[in-house]
Amino acid sequence: MALVTSTEMFKKAYEGGYAIGAFNVNNMEIIQGIIEAAKAEKSALILQVSAGARKYASPIYLKKLVEAAVQDSGLDIVLHLDHGENFEICKQCVDDGFTSVMIDASHLPFEENIRVTKEVVEYAHAHGVVVEAELGRLAGVEDAVNVSEKDASFTDPDQAVEFVERTGIDSLAIAIGTSHGAYKFKGEPRLDFERLDIITKKLPGFPLVLHGASSVLPEFVELCNKYGGEIPGAQGVPEDMLRKAAKSGVCKINIDTDLRLAMTAAIRKHFVEHPGDFDPRKYLGPAREAIKGMVQHKIRNVLGSSNTSL
Ligand code: G3H
Ligand code: 13P
Ligand code: ZN
């Protein structure tokens, strides 16, 4: 049991045709819910921390909670920086003991993206840390990640090959139609599997990453709607599409919004049913259970990573 890099996990996932879930963490209940699920499924696991999460919880708390999770669970876990926007934050996380960082310079022109990514790779690799980078841009709005539809663009397969060769990264996040948040498609959900197929063929054996991969399951949207404010028009990536991607070189699938929905639905339900409660444990307990249920479902039915812990 330890904090590990994703190198071995991705190798096994690629060969086995499954993906590792990378779940965003912001507080203790979220971490515990995810850990309970991974433990029950004996699954390989990536816990990822965004800049927004670091700001919310303060870096030291999240790091110590993840260390506690490793000790308590006996699992090997990757601690990953999600969407590091510059060299500085990546360096900080490497220095803080993360085992994986993402440099997201996908908003910069190609050559600039390469330059910044290479700088992070040099520093991270010198410290035994692996690097994910992004080429192409996902649409979507979250706390620290905000890209309008008109600024989004799919990954060019030839550029992907050049990018991987010139930067020396360990995994590549690609844009094939997913987006961040709860509003992913206006009409019929569609991912560009042809593009994924070409990228996989041009980069055989190389681990690809899918961001914006929540499925925004209707039953959770309905629960949120039933017990509180409406989330009209929410739509996610159908789970069968994620299973298909996991069989085609996608080794890491990022999930945050589905955890947010599960947690929020549980808390809203609790307060509708017990309006007089004011002990946080009374509503954070069910929220933690809801996270566990969601993650266990993903591991078993979507990612296919049960019984893969190292
Ligand atoms: O892709 C972004 C993650 O879902 C994290 O979102 O920046 O609101 O923490 P955040
Ligand atoms: P979702 O918003 O679809 O959960 O995506 C999360 C993500 O990509 C984190 O990097
Ligand atoms: Zn993302």
pLDDT (tens digit per residue) in 140-182: 655 556 666 666 689 999 999 999 999 999 999 999 999 999 9
308 falls within a domain: no
Helix axes 193-202, 239-246, angle to 10 degrees: 10
Residues with Cβ within 8 Å of residue 253, at least 6 apart in sequence: 19, 20, 21, 22, 209, 210, 213, 242, 245, 246, 302, 303
209 part of a folded domain? yes
Contact status, residue 46 vs residue 77, Cβ threshold 8 Å = yes
In a domain, 310, yes or no: no
Q: Which residues have C-beta within 8 Å of that of residue 267, sequence separation ≥ 6?
A: 283, 284, 286, 287
Tell me which H or E stretch contains 9: helix 7-16
Q: What per-residue confidence (pLDDT) applies to 102? A: 98
Residue 38 lies in a domain: yes
Burial tier of 279 (Cβ tally within 10 Å: 0-12, 13-18, 19+): exposed
Tokens in use for 42?
């004996």
For a ligand 2 pocket test, name from 34, 103, 191, 257 the mutation site with the most ligand atoms within 8 angstroms of its C-beta: 257
Q: Which domain holds residue 181?
A: 7-303
List, chain by chain if needed, residues with CB within 6 Å of any ligand 2 atom.
24, 82-83, 180-181, 211-214, 254-258
Please give the number of the atom of ligand 2 that sits closest to the Cα of 82.
10
User: Taking a C-beta distance cutoff of 8 angstroms, is the pair 176, 191 a contact?
Assistant: yes
Catalytic residues: 82
Q: Per-residue pLDDT tens for 27-40?
A: 999 999 999 999 99
Is 20 in a helix, a strand, or coil? Answer: strand
Work out the burial of residue 109: count CB atoms within 10 Å of its CB; fewer than 13 is exposed, 13-18 middle, 19 or more buried: exposed
Q: Is residue 309 part of a domain?
A: no
Alpha carbon distance 3, 243 (integer Å)? 27
Distance CA 7, CA 194 (A): 26
Q: What is the CATH number of the domain that holds 231?
A: 3.20.20.70
Residues in the chain, pLDDT under 70: 140-152
The SS3 assignment for 112 reads: helix
* 62 touches ligand 1 (CB under 6 Å): no
d(CA 76, CA 110): 35
Q: Could you tell me which residues are beta bridge partners of residue 141?
A: 146
> Does ligand 1 have an atom closer than 6 angstroms to the CB of 80?
no
Alpha carbon distances (Å) from 111 to 7, 116, 130: 26, 9, 21
Domain count, the chain: 1
In a domain, 1, yes or no: no
Residue 242: the pLDDT is 98
- The answer to whether residues 284 and 264 touch, using CB atoms and an 8 Å cutoff, is no
Residue 54 lies in a domain: yes
